[in-house]
Structure 1
Amino acid sequence: MMSKLKINNQFIQRVYKRAIKEYRLLIQPKIIQIEGIKIKIGEHISPPVKKAMYIGEYESSELRAVKSKLSTNDIVMELGAGIGLLSSYCAKRIGSERVFTYEANPRLEIPIRETYQINQVLPNLEICLVGEENGEQTFYVGKNFWSSSIIPWNEGAKPITVAVKSFNQEIRKINPSFLIIDIEGGEYDLLKYADFYNVKKLVIEIHPKAIGQDKAIFVKSKLAEMGFQINHKLSKNSGILEELFLERNN
């Protein structure tokens, strides 16, 4: 009897979630909630990104890992704020003063701060790249904000010059225990020089389409050398994109 009730409950949940997705696609509300975080759907969000948000696929793997593994004593450092979803979620859980996020695309600063405002959080936000050294670097802004990168792999992306802060200096200053990396192909260059210091938990997107399989393998090899192990239950590999959650004990 209990197993039948469990199966029925799971079926009802699936039907409910599907109905929510279809409703969002049909109505296209101006504000949606993802894991309790309000997101305003504005002109800065392109149709493919908007659809991913409406059907619940936007940053779903990263959110699942953060939701499962974030602790109240963690300090979070995020590379690639996007529109502020993950940093807002972390700030709600552990406090804004324990969340530090970086976004290279200056066009996203207003949407990010709007996300923070409507969710009543205020993580530490820096509009800059993180790189090997302080300075400036070319950054390519795509039509879909999630395709903007230091790599001009997206056709039609426009080059701009942005400020760069040293990753290794920032990580020592912040001393995060939880690191989130979503920098659309920049992960290869980062892993060539990065010292992850006292980081114990890591969410990272690896983009073989942008950097190639050999460089994707290099990224995972460097992480293994640092003592990180993949948690396969909280990771996802679509073939085009690898969304990994890793932990280390040393």
Structure 2
Amino acid sequence: MATETAIPPNYFVVSRGMNFPQHADFIQGRTRARLRRGVFEANEAEAALRTVRPGDVVLELGAGLGFMSTLMAMKRKVAAVHSYEPNPHLIPYIHTVHAANGLTDMSVTNGILGPRKAEVDFHLRPDLLLSSLHLEEDEADLPKTRIPVHNANSVFKEVRPTVLYCNMKGEEATLIPQLPLQGLRAAIIAFTPNRSSRDAMNTVFRALMDAGLAYYHRGSAGKVICMRSDW
């Protein structure tokens, strides 16, 4: 899936052998430092490297900077990654990351998944990487945009994923039980500690276990939980 890129190397921040184009809105401060040190989304990356296999079809919910989709495509030679990212402002940058690493068979769609087609509010924060579907209890109204909800059954039927990767900033307990999870070989869930209560985590675990997945300790670390059907 990866080919050589002709873009000059000083245009990039390089992390784990992956190219991330310099962009003042996304690659700055702590994010730039963690990318350069190779510790950006370290637990998520380790879970993917221990779990994802060549030929897997990955459904990614919450693409962020495109870090995890690029990692799985380059380091594990998956058949395809289908990403759904709720923040519309991140989509163009994710495309540049994939292009900078010569990746094909990558799709990026704005929105989230749900039981039926709809639209929901998405709240935009000054740091675009912190934007989300929810407002904090003590937070004033933020600028917002409407984003699409895609029919989960239709997406799963079309994509036929073998691996689910979810990093939805605290929305996983609402989202995951609504998904048709049967048929997955593995799932990697990045919980958000300040928004993931015990009940929320149990709800996610229960939905994944009902789909035939079991906790996989070698792929799990900290807030990142890995479940597999075949170990």
In structure 2, runs of 5+ residues without a counterpart are: 1-9
Partner Cα separation in structure 2 for residue 73 and residue 143 of structure 1 = 38
Q: Letter of the aligned partner of 1:120 in structure 2?
A: G
The normalised TM-score by structure 1 is 0.77
**Matched residue, 1:244:** 225
Pairwise CA distance, 1:198: 1.1
Partner of 1:139: 122
| Contact 1:65/1:203, CA 8 A, preserved across alignment | yes
**Distance in 2 of aligned mates of 1:194 and 1:147:** 24
Structural mapping, 1:98-117, within 5 Å: 98-117=80-99
- Which secondary structure does the structure 2 equivalent of 1:153 belong to? coil
1:88 paired to 2:74: no
Of 47, 56, 71, which residue of structure 1 is paired with 2:29?
47
Tell me if structure 2 keeps the 8 A contact 1:41–1:50.
Answer: no
Gapped runs of 5+ residues in structure 1? 1-28
Question: Is 1:226–2:211 an aligned residue pair?
Answer: yes
One-letter code of the match for 1:129?
I
Aligned match of 1:216: 201
Which structure has the higher relative contact order (CA within 8 Å, separation 6+)? 2
Identity %: 21
Q: Which has the higher helix share?
A: 1
Query: SS of the counterpart of 2:132?
Result: coil
Task: Name the counterpart of 2:7.
Answer: none
**Total equivalences in the alignment:** 217
Specify the code of the residue in structure 1 equivalent to 2:132.
S
2:156 match: 171
Q: Structure 2 length normalisation: TM-score?
A: 0.83
Which deviates more, 108-117 or 121-130? 121-130
Hey, what's the Cα distance between the residues in 2 that align with 1:133 and 1:49?
35
Aligned to 1:38: 19
Kept after mapping to 2: 8 A contact 1:187/1:206: yes
Of residues 89, 93, 102, the one that matches 1:120 is 102
> What SS class does the counterpart of residue 151 from structure 1 fall into?
coil
Give the counterpart of 1:68 among 36, 47, 50.
50
Matched, 1:195 2:180: yes
**Residue 138 of structure 1, CA deviation:** 0.7
SS at match of 1:196: coil
Q: Secondary structure at the match of 1:236?
A: coil
Q: Which digits, 9 at most, give the CA deviation of each residue in 1:17-64, with x for residues without a partner?
A: xxxxxxxxxxxx762222221112321225343333233332211211
- Kindly name which structure, 1 or 2, has the bigger radius of gyration based on alpha carbons: 1
1:59 to 35, 41, 52: 41
Question: 1:58-99: per-residue Cα shift (whole Å, max 9, x none)?
Answer: 22112112222322221111111111122122233426x622
Which amino acid in structure 1 is aligned with residue 136 of structure 2?
Answer: W
CA RMSD across the alignment: 2.3
Counterparts in 2 of 1:152-163, with a 5 A limit? 152-153=135-136, 155=139, 157-163=142-148
Alignment partner of 1:51: what SS?
A: helix
**Per-residue displacement from partner, 1:130-163 (whole Å, max 9, x unpaired)?**
2221121111223344432222239465321111
